[in-house]
Amino acid sequence: MGVADRWKHLHKALSKSGPFSDPDWIPGEETIKSLEESKILVIGAGGLGCEILKNLALSGFKDIHVIDMDTIDISNLNRQFLFRQSDIGKPKAEVAAAFVEKRVKGVKITPFVGKIQDKDEDYYMQFKIIVCGLDSIEARRWINSTLVGMVDMDNPESLKPLIDGGTEGFKGQARVILPSLTSCIECQLDMHAPRPAVPLCTIATIPRQPQHCIEWAHQIAWQDKRKDDAFDSDDMEHIGWVYNAALERAKEFNISGVTFQMAQGVVKNIIPAIASTNAVIAAATTSEALKIATSCNPFLENYMMYAGEEGVYTYTFEAEKKPDCPVCGSLARKITVNADATLGEFIETLGERPEAQLKKPSLRTEEKTLYQRFPPQLEEQTRDNLKLKLRDLIVTGQEVAVSDPAYTIDFRFQLIFG
Amino acid sequence: MLKIWSMQQQAENAEGAAGKKKKKVTAAQLRVQRDLQELTLGSTMKMSFPDKDDILNFTLTIEPDEGMYKGGSFHFTFAVNQNFPHDPPKVKCTQKIYHPNIDLEGNVCLNILREDWKPVLNLNAVIVGMQFLFLEPNASDPLNKEAAEDLRQNREVFKRNIRSSMGGGSVRGVQFDKVLR
């Protein structure tokens, strides 16, 4: 396909208004230019990430960044199509970036090999849109709270739309989050079904399935026999030990079906990834990115679920913002304080401030418990802080989180020394 | 959203280093701060924090004032991770005790610590559940099979075994920690 042909359809879509496009939208050159200049970040270069990177590059994004901390494993090759046998052991972000750059001329992909937590707000501030293809809830919660925390009402640029894709076997979801404006990942936390767990007593006493035997070897036998070794699910010797222990236990209870692969799956909590699910979800996230970056059509509001076990089913709904969400329920409010006031005096002013009126607050920073009213042991341990000056406890600009039993929501304040 | 962007052409970086935010209190910390404040400990439970600034790791001491374990003092470590409340807290008994639902390694079989955990549950629910284990040990969810068997077969023998184990004696050849107050 010629280079000019490749963009023909995209440019057509971006040069004509459609029935759903915003009446204020101006199709044409300017829109195409703004798409090409949109710096976009992809978090994760695994099953979803490979698809997303390929799709974004083919949708006309020209400045793409990608973060992933992992290296390529042989088991990735069946669906993570940007990787080849000879890439095993190399960082996913780098190999994926190089592959897509080579195949789609004119696109620049900047890889970063590391954790999302290694980067700070300045880094995330440079992007227009962030797309996640992650498998961990913890990482999602981190990026979500970071993006919500970056929102500065006086600076519209600080609002970074977050498009989150996720898959598990035949199921998946895509969602669009406008940090602080719409329902965030933390608001929706209880929608994630916790991983199904078997009661510990079943594992310990009456195993019925091969998986129970593996869980027993992993959780009970390991502790009993190899307490001093920290279990590492990537260490083949450790998996092998668990497998053999499980095999013996299975024999004892007349259970068949324990395999090495199953041991690895249970221990690492692997749910087989389905390439087509990844493709469907990645397509959904990238089309949202294209719509948000160009305004050519209204974007998803705000949650699309997909179920492919029996047929192909999707359902879209608007998840609501939780008023008492610990992340987006209350944005950090800046307040000016006297650095020489004691913590006790500051707490008193919290009761007087019209925006707070807190009666029995407990307070902390990320690294310090400033004052905790209950339980009594911790109250006693933190009581002395009340007499200390603020300047001896925190630095200017630091965030303090406040909980008060009188309120269902928590408060965050950014204390600025006046 | 694009309207917001197009309004603003140049990014405002004026705030610079001075306005840079420090590390934010994590959602897990905030939730634990709230949960701690809402605990009802009563006279039978105490908590201690080896590092007062780390509220995600602490110990709980239960001293039952009724039931078969009356007079004992039982210590548990709580480890809450950054994925709380999606993940339940990890709870372990630090002593070797004779209890049908607690094994010799200190693992605890309590439904809400594992299969029935939900993010809407809080630390108070866990603590109430733990207290209940000492008032009503149950033989149907055994983690210490021998103890469960004793409870099922002969309640009086079971009670006697508890007393001797709590005093630091041994039951069926297993030596237990002295946990009497």
Q: What number of CA atoms fall less than 13 Å from residue A197's CA on the CB side?
A: 20
Sheet-wide strand order for A411-417:
A333-337, A411-417, A398-403, A362-364, A369-371
Q: Provide the residue range defining the domain that includes B86.
A: 25-170
Cross-strand bridge partners of residue A133: A165
The CA distances from residue A249 to A159, A244, A254, A264, B143, in Å, are: 54, 9, 8, 17, 16
**Residue A146 near residue B23, CB atoms below 8 Å:** no
* Residues of chain A neighbouring B39 (CB-CB closer than 8 A): 374-375
* Residues of chain B neighbouring A382 (CB-CB closer than 8 A): 52
Distance from CA of B75 to the nearest CA of A (A): 15
Q: Which of B5, B27, B52 sits opposite A141 (nearest CB)?
A: B27
Q: Is residue B154 part of a domain?
A: yes
Q: What is the phi/psi pair of residue A82, to 5°?
A: -85, 0
* Residues of chain B neighbouring A395 (CB-CB closer than 8 A): 22
Q: Is residue B177 part of a domain?
A: no
pLDDT for A109: 96
**A377, B119: Cβ pair inside 8 Å?**
no
Residues of B known to be catalytic? 109
Question: And the tokens for A290?
Answer: 């294209």
**B25, A395: Cβ pair inside 8 Å?**
no
Q: What ranges do the domains of chain A cover? A: 3-193+273-317, 200-267, 333-417
pLDDT for A2: 62
Q: Which amino acid is at A301?
A: E
Q: Is residue B8 part of a domain?
A: no
pLDDT for A1: 56
Distance CA A125, CA A327 (A): 18
Closest-CA residue to A50 (of A104, A5, A16, A95): A95
The residue of chain B with its CA nearest to that of A296 is: B2
Distance from CA of A294 to the nearest CA of B (A): 8
- CATH class, domain A333-417, is alpha beta
Interface A-B, measured as beta-carbon pairs within 8 A, has a size of 176
Where chain B has pLDDT below 70, the residues are 1-22
**B86, A189: Cβ pair inside 8 Å?**
yes
Q: What would you measure as the largest C-alpha separation in chain B, in angstroms?
A: 81
The pairing of beta strand B74-79 with beta strand A333-337:
unpaired
Architecture of the domain delimited by A200-267: Orthogonal Bundle (1.10)
**A204, B109: Cβ pair inside 8 Å?**
yes
Q: What number of CA atoms fall less than 13 Å from residue A252's CA on the CB side?
A: 12
pTM, 2 dp:
0.76
DSSP codes of every residue in A77-144: TTT-TT--GGGTTSBHHHHHHHHHHHHSTT-EEEEEES-GGGS-HHHHHT-SEEEEE-S-HHHHHHHH
The residue of chain A with its CA nearest to that of B16 is: A122
**B8, A161: Cβ pair inside 8 Å?**
no
> Token pair 């009126």 is at which residue?
A357
The residue of chain A with its CA nearest to that of B41 is: A375
Distance from CA of A144 to the nearest CA of B (A): 11
pLDDT for B4: 46
* Residues of chain A neighbouring B23 (CB-CB closer than 8 A): 365-367, 399
Q: What is the phi/psi pair of residue A67, to 5°?
A: -115, 135
* Residues of chain A neighbouring B5 (CB-CB closer than 8 A): 128, 156-157
Query: Residue A150: which H helix or E strand, with range?
Result: helix A137-150
Handedness of CA A201, A207, A208, A209 (dihedral sign): positive
Give the relative orientation of helices A92-103 and A47-58 as an angle to the nearest 10 degrees.
30
Domain count, chain B: 1
Q: Is residue B1 part of a domain?
A: no
Distance CA B27, CA B46 (A): 25
**Residue B92 near residue B110, CB atoms below 8 Å:** no
**Residue A344 near residue A387, CB atoms below 8 Å:** yes
Please identify among residues 49-88 of chain B the ones whose CB lies closer than 8 Å to any CB of chain A.
49, 52-55, 82-83, 85-87
Q: Is residue B158 part of a domain?
A: yes
Distance CA A337, CA B93 (A): 44
DSSP codes of every residue in B116-160: T--TT--HHHHHHHHHHHHHS--TTS-SSHHHHHHHHH-HHHHHH
Q: Which of A138, A365, A401 sits opposite B83 (nearest CB)?
A: A138
**Which CATH number goes with the domain that contains B36?**
3.10.110.10
CATH of domain A3-193+273-317: 3.40.50.720
**A414, B31: Cβ pair inside 8 Å?**
no
The answer to whether the peptide bond before residue A375 is cis (omega within 30 degrees of 0) is: yes
Distance CA A335, CA B172 (A): 64
**Residue A413 near residue A332, CB atoms below 8 Å:** yes
Instruction: Give A268's contacts (C-beta < 8 A, 6+ positions apart).
Output: A233
Is the complex ipTM more than 0.85? no
pLDDT for A272: 82
First to last CA, chain A: 63
Closest-CA residue to A249 (of A202, A287, A300): A202
Question: Which residue among A187, A201, A213, A325 is the active-site one?
Answer: A201
Q: Is residue B96 part of a domain?
A: yes
pLDDT in tens, chain A (418 residues): 566 788 999 999 899 988 888 888 888 888 999 999 999 999 999 999 999 999 999 999 999 999 999 999 998 999 999 999 999 999 999 999 999 999 999 999 999 999 999 998 899 999 999 999 998 888 998 999 899 988 888 888 999 999 999 999 999 999 999 999 999 998 998 777 767 788 888 888 889 999 999 999 998 889 888 888 888 888 889 999 999 999 999 999 999 999 999 999 888 887 788 999 999 999 999 999 999 999 899 999 999 999 999 999 999 999 999 888 888 887 788 888 999 999 999 998 887 776 666 778 999 999 999 999 999 999 999 999 999 999 999 999 898 999 888 777 788 888 999 8
* Residues of chain A neighbouring B46 (CB-CB closer than 8 A): 375, 377
**A399, B25: Cβ pair inside 8 Å?**
yes
Closest-CA residue to A216 (of A228, A204, A206, A224): A204
pLDDT for B7: 41
**A410, B26: Cβ pair inside 8 Å?**
no
Distance CA A104, CA A7 (A): 11
Which stretches of A151-259 are DSSP H helices?
A: 200-205, 210-216, 222-225, 236-252
Q: Which of B8, B105, B145 sits opposite A156 (nearest CB)?
A: B8
Q: Is residue B79 part of a domain?
A: yes
